[in-house]
Amino acid sequence: MSSHNESILREPLITGKDITYAQVTNDILLPVENKPNKAWWIGFTLASLGALLWVFCVSYTFWVGIGAWGLNKTVGWAWDITDFVWWVGIGHAGTLISAVLLLFRQNWRNSINRSAEAMTIFAVICAATYVVSHMGRPWLAYWIFPLPNQFGSLWVNFNSPLVWDAFAISTYFTVSLVFWYTGLLPDISSVRDRAIGLKRRIYSILSFGWNGSVKTWQRFEIVSLVLAGISTPLVLSVHTIVSMDFATSVIPGWHTTIFPPYFVAGAIFSGFAMVQTLLLVMRKVMNFENYITMFHIESMNKIIMTTGSIVGIAYLTEFFIAWYSGSEYELYAFQNRAAGPYWWAYWTMMTCNVISPQLFWFKKIRRSIPISWVLSIVVNIGMWFERFVIIVTSLHRDYLPSSWAMFYPTWTDVGIFVGSIGVFFTLFLLFLRFLPGIAIAEVKLLLKSASLQQKAKLIAEGHQAPEQVEFFKDSLVKFDSITQEEINELK
């Protein structure tokens, strides 16, 4: 049933008055069916300039080799792997939102899953480029996959986490892409059936001939559910395996069993922060305030706070175990992180990741859009520093003090990183221009149960307990898309 009555104690997921199914389609397709506005062009110009910088720096790296980077004999992994792990981490929120929240029946995922999944795919693309370019001979990147022996003398070493990583990242990318695109089919069809001419032809090809019959929807829902079920362990396995790239080595500071859960929490943390960064801008620029409400923003802030706290506990545990284990090398690695030459990176990480998300305990901060936006960026800066601290500070104090060194990035390092952000935003802006940024069908599913107008109707019918109505009205005060008059009208 599309209109079961949901308790008014739950906050509405769609606000606005007299929203019809047609209006949902109109609102969400507005940016797809019309010429982009100035904000989009400014963003797109900046992003594509960044993407050009990326093309230039990666080409330069391919041309002269890894020597273009600031790596040295001691620090053999630095910005490349830092950026890789950062992007993969960001790429975790999309699948988490679409899979885990689907399994837990968190309906608020319906209006944010599409853009978060798109973000996942673009972030994994950015991450994959580092893997390929750090190999030195990128044209032989396929050697990481098991190929028949004629290609070389040996098979790949399946005991190595780096090989696991190749399997994990490529599986993750493929499954996320399939999940995202299958979900897009009904929405692409909505664009198709409203378009004419060449546009209809293009969207027709993209829509795979979707028609929305009973059997199609039935299978679609089963496919979504099973994909969610298998993506949940997948998303956890991916960052677990990424953490094993470090944890299975014997470098002090890396060789810890806490890494898998700690990395997964960190990935969700940074992923949600990036979703928040993008969505807060998107809802404003594209007028999605009725679909991405204050409830969504607050829920995401709560997740950022929770995962941030898990990450904080992990940092403290690491430090404690470094001392408690009695391993002097481990303890030195951690003392060096906090007070060595990279102390500033360590304390930036601590401030951004442990202290700043704790601000979300305050309702005022959690519900403030500008502060949430700034904090989401602070979190992502912190998460970049986390990977930098783990990688560079553990490596730069080599086993022999004569090999101790510092890492200084070159312009190519910086250019590839800044450029990859440009690539990410270019892809994301193109996505918003040509594909529906919100899952239309899934939002329609909520229209007759979890929307404000439906709850207002329930209240108007007069069978709700007065104290529940009061509670509901109080919970609406935080919504920036509901005016005080609208709240007063409810009775």
Partner 1 sequence: MSSTKYILGSFADPDDMMHGIDKLQENNISIYDCFTPMPIHGIEAKLGVKPSRLPIAAFCFGITGLVSGISLLYYTIVYDWPMNIGGKPALAMPDFVPVSFELTILFCALGMVATFFFRNHLFPGRAPRVMDLRATDDRFIIAIDAKENTDYEKINSLLKEAGAVDVLHNERKYVSYE
Binding-site ranges for partner 1 (CB under 8 A): 1-3, 20-22, 25, 146, 149, 154-159, 161, 163-164, 167-168, 171, 174-175, 178-179, 182, 185-186, 189-190, 192-194, 204-223, 226-227, 230-231, 233-234, 237, 241, 244, 440-442, 444-445, 448
Cβ distance to partner 1 smaller for residue 345 or 438: 438
Closest approach, Cβ 212 to partner 1, in A, equals 5
- The span from the CA of 178 to the CA of 208, in Å, is 13
CB of 108 to partner 1, least distance (A): 17
* Rounded-to-integer distance, Cα 436 and Cα 282, Å: 12
Select 72 or 237, whichever has its Cβ closest to partner 1: 237
Q: Which residues sit opposite 451 in a β-bridge? A: 14
Q: From CA 184, how far away is CA 442, in angstroms rounded?
A: 11
CB of 199 or CB of 478, closer to partner 1: 199
Residue 285 Cβ, how far from partner 1 at the closest point, in Å?
24
**Closest approach of partner 1 to the CB of residue 87, in Å:** 19
Smallest gap, in angstroms, from Cβ of residue 97 to partner 1?
18
Please say which residue, 178 or 460, places its beta carbon nearer to partner 1: 178
Q: How far apart are CA 340 and CA 331, in angstroms?
A: 12
How open is the CA angle 272-275-276, to the nearest 5 degrees? 90
Cβ atoms of 227 and 172 closer than 8 Å: no
CB nearer to partner 1: give 38 or 215.
215
Nearer to partner 1, 64 or 226 (CB): 226
73 versus 105: smaller Cβ distance to partner 1: 105
- CA 431 to chain CA centroid, Å, is 15
What is the separation of C-alpha 257 from the centre of its chain, rounded to a whole number of angstroms?
25
C-alpha span between 50 and 62 (Å, rounded) = 18
- State which residue, 157 or 402, has the beta carbon closest to partner 1: 157
Contacts (Cβ under 8 Å, ≥6 apart) of 135: 141, 144
* Separation CA 236–CA 99 (nearest Å): 11
Least separation in angstroms between residue 142's CB and partner 1 is 16
Give SS3 for 419.
helix
The distance of closest approach from Cβ of residue 341 to partner 1 in the complex, given in angstroms and rounded to an integer, is 34
Q: Helix/strand/coil (H, E, C) string of 281-321?
A: HHHHHCCCCCCCCHHHHHHHHHHHHHHHHHHHHHHHHHHHH
Minimum gap (Å) between residue 134 Cβ and partner 1: 21
User: How many angstroms separate the CA atoms of 54 and 227, rounded?
Assistant: 33
